[in-house]
Structure 1
Amino acid sequence: MEKALHKDVGKPHDENQTLYRILFIIGACHLLNDSLQAVIPAMFPILERSMGLSFTQLGLIAFTLNMISSVMQPLVGTFTDKKPLPYALPIGLTSSMVGMLGLALAPNFWLVLVSVVFIGLGSAVFHPEGSRVVYLAAGNKRGLAQSIFQVGGNSGQALAPVITALILVPLGQIGAAWFTLIAGLAVVFLTYIAKWYRGQIQSIQAKKKKLAAKTHSKAVSKAIKSALIVLIFLVFARSWYAAAISNFYAFYAIDSYDLTIAKSQIYIFIFLAMGAIGTFLGGPLADRFGRRNVILFSLVASSPLSILLPYVGPIFAMILLATIGLFLMSSFSVTVVYAQELVPGKIGTMSGLIVGLAFGMGAIGSVALGYFIDLLGLSTTMIMASLLPLLGFLTFLLPTDKKVQEWYE
């Protein structure tokens, strides 16, 4: 693998050429990174029983992880837009490795939070820098490239129920220590990626100068800002609903269908696994049918299914979760590419903003949903959350792909 990768090291490539080798390696690293993050919500039922944590405390753990990631990602992206740091990638995963070891050994709630901070910092560095690597290697297939990258992350998240059933249920909290090996493997791969990334810096700087010379009218600048605000609302709707399912639906399934912890994880796995497939399909579909069209379909098609979900039985719930996951997450990579094309001179900032925002909204959603569950009950909260995909109709306010392209011609 190292020999194959070094063929591209130090060589600026044709910007229309898609480097699948780089894309698959960074996608694999995304899987490893997000599988580390998946350990945290997967541990919720374990921590609830072993430490006697409330739903609000569980929400605060998710909040800490996601908020650190969301706040830091745009900052990292903005800084590295100005000064690229290729070796930030392996350094970030080293922070996650330290946090994972701390999580396995933490004796109380507060040390769990400290460990989660280290994991969040690693993720905050990885996502904007990983997205920049993808942009550089994408060529003329940006949707497909971002899908390859993001499906790695979604696949890592989908491992959470498997991690719970096969590792954390039999081993308990100490089972998280095994994931320091996964973090170490990611550090090795990212060191390879960093060497290739370093060779592209000259090309990055040349593109930045070219884009800096492009000026917009006040009307276009206002339209770009308005589009970003709409995109933020769409990410909010998707992230809060995904947080409701991935963090709390296991408890809903246990209460509603009288399931064990292990069996309840099947529902989460179905949602996340189909979400990973949707993430992969969304990119190439957006390359063919347009970014805005895929974003619109993603949320609007999910809305009637999400509204129906709280009222069905256990078997039909699996079918609905699979379909919702497929539809809802098809826009995940597409929103990143759409934002990058809105502001192509700030790839790291836009990647950090959209992906970081998804984490941040998920963080706030986790705390809010946990609070509402404690206050109103599980069923009522899940019914309220089911209305969120209806915000997808705001997509009609976004400029078309053709209009965005015209702004930079």
Structure 2
Amino acid sequence: MPVSTPRRPAEAPASPTTWPPAPDTGRRPRRTLPAFLRLGPGDREVLWLYVLTRVGIWATAGAVGWLFPRDGESRRPASPLSSWQQWDWWHYLHIAEEGYFPTQAGPWTAGWDNREAFLPGFPLALRAVHTVVPDWAAAGALISFVSGGVAVLALARIARHHLADLETGRRAVAFLLLSPCAVFLAAGYTEALFLALALPAWLAAQRQNWPTAAILACLACSVRITGLFLAAALALHFVLTARGLRAWRAAPWLLLPALAPALYSWFLQTRTGDWMAWKHSQERGWYRDFHAPWEAWANTWEAAFGHTQATGYAFMWQAELLAMVIGLVLLVLLVRARRWPEALYIGLTLWALGTSYWYTSVPRSTLLWWPLWIGLASWSMRRPRIQSAYLYVAGPLSAVVAITFLSGRWAG
């Protein structure tokens, strides 16, 4: 008797790839995350360290609110967020709330706050997050918290890329998070957001992913002018590593980072008639007109040790001098090691900071010197006492600077 071919059930799919169909086990195909989202053991350790230090810095902020109230007779502590609303924060907040030139005010207005000295990247991010988080200070803190997490992951991966060691990445992050000016990574300032863009850009460049590196560097240029120095370092790294015609096809991407400052200059020109409005606002508000490097050193030395300033400001100018010396030593070491792109980044940064009337915010800028933290981590691996010495000295200094800033005093 001939064997007839069985008919398919009515509910069977119209065009199955096999017959009979495989039984449904209830499992779904496993989705693979992009490489940059996959967290290995080293990444999780770094994030745990990051969370612990955030708990510590926020506990410090809460203690400052209780111990150093603005009104010495107050019986109630201020809001936990009020300690973070200091100095540059108000410029970012006013830009996010009102824009750059509210009610036709500008540099021609008496008492103008020179807010155009601050690039639009962070205020735009602040305004966007504020649509979800109603409290402005909380929105700024959230930006810095998320950005800081991205930054430390990227820093650890850059360290591992260079040195192929999980412990080196962890140490680099620890040195950054316990550095004297680490409080600014938690404040509503630009450092954390800049690092969250600049460090992944550098990591992408190490992996020859130039479109991603250029896009991230362009965004970094909208946050801090230091982004231009990053773009220069990326361009040099490309020139030194590109091999063959196919690699050089990515070269036009390296022009993209210039777009952000060009657009901002055009915006300011349409409002003020001045293509150099950003630079002129820096000169008016922060004495950042050009001076020879030795003049800037002499003026800062006078402010630090000449007894011409209140002791709190003098102490911070002493820190400016120390930070500049550290930067110069780092630059020499990078040149000796022939790390030319990183040396260019640090060199341009030091030139910009070291040619004003006096030094301003050099200690805070050390947060952006990722070769410093990776170099310290590598050094500590060879000489274990370096880690102990750093933590026992930098940790207390970090607490001092944090209390100084959170209590409303100038901290660079």
Higher helix proportion (structure 1 or 2): 1
**Normalized against structure 2, the TM-score is what?**
0.27
**Normalized against structure 1, the TM-score is what?**
0.27
Q: Which has the higher contact order (CA 8 A, sep 6+)?
A: 1
